[in-house]
């Protein structure tokens, strides 16, 4: 949106509608498959009206990714080195699973970007994400060195948490086809808690 005085209520509402519609379109079709026309239609706005707020598809996508990356890093940032190691890690696992339940479109948007080589967020992955993961793996190593949790590869531990929890969002159709009427988010927490508790409990 062109720089101006504080946005009106209608402008704020339209911008939010565009981003919400774009999240649907991008998560379903990926960046390459999505079009401005699809987003405008989903937002119930004309294409010229949409382009007033965002001059291009890239601008819309970038705005979503900027919001998403901060949201995505929040559960790991909350890992507290002063807390009980096992409970802190299990809480992180459950926060990530809850994100898959509450933000499936965001998870698929992120997955689509990564599968395409992360052309729009590669710099952030190499800086913000890597710095945070490096910091938290140092904390995890300290817990292992102190004998407070079992010794495993800390980076692969985090990768496994990402892949296991985000599977429920990114492969939702497959999960629900296999489980039928069973709600995956009703039964997954107990399984995942047991899995990581057994893996990480000190010998």
Tell me the CATH number at 181.
1.10.357.10
Domain that holds residue 20: 1-55
How many domains is the chain built from? 2
Contact (Cβ atoms closer than 8 angstroms) between residue 36 and residue 42: no
Q: Do 79 and 177 fall within a single domain?
A: yes
What is residue 19's predicted lDDT score, i.e. its pLDDT?
95
85 with 160, same domain: the answer is: yes
What pLDDT, on the 0 to 100 scale, is given for residue 72? 87
Q: How many CB atoms lie within 10 A of CB 172?
A: 16
Residue 1 confidence (pLDDT): 46
> How many Cα atoms within 13 Å fall on the side-chain side of residue 193?
12
Using CA atoms, how far residue 105 sits from 25, 26, 203, in Å, is 9, 8, 39
The pLDDT assigned to 168 comes to 96
Same domain flag for 69 and 125: yes
Q: Are residues 68 and 15 in the same domain?
A: no
27 and 10 co-located in one domain: yes
Question: Under the phi-then-psi rule, with left for phi > 0, alpha for psi from -120 to 50, and beta for the rest, what region is 61?
Answer: alpha
Task: Say yes or no: 92 and 73 in one domain.
Answer: yes
Last residue within a domain, chosen from 19, 36, 55: 55
Question: Mean pLDDT for each 10-residue chunk of the chain (203 residues)?
Answer: 68 93 91 93 95 94 86 93 97 96 91 86 86 97 98 98 96 95 95 97 92
């Amino acid at each position: 949106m062109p720089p101006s005085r504080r946005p009106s209520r209608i402008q704020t509402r339209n911008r939010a509608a565009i981003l919400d519609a774009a999240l649907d379109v991008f998560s379903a079709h990926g960046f390459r498959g999505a079009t401005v026309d699809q987003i405008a239609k989903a937002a119930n706005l004309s294409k010229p009206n949409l382009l007033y707020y965002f001059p291009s598809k890239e601008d819309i996508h970038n705005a979503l990714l900027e919001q998403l990356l901060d949201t995505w890093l929040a559960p790991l940032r909350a890992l507290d080195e002063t807390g009980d190691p096992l409970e802190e890690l299990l809480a992180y696992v459950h926060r990530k699973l809850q994100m898959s339940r509450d933000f499936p479109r965001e998870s698929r948007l992120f997955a689509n970007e990564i599968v395409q080589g992360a052309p729009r967020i590669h710099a952030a992955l190499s800086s913000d994400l890597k710095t945070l993961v490096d910091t938290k793996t140092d904390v995890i190593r300290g817990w292992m060195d102190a004998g407070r949790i079992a010794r495993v590869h800390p980076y692969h531990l985090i990768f496994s948490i990402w892949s296991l929890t985000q599977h429920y969002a990114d492969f939702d159709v497959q999960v629900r086809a296999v489980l039928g009427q069973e709600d995956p988010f009703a039964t997954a927490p107990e399984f995942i808690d047991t899995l990581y508790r057994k893996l990480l409990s000190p010998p």
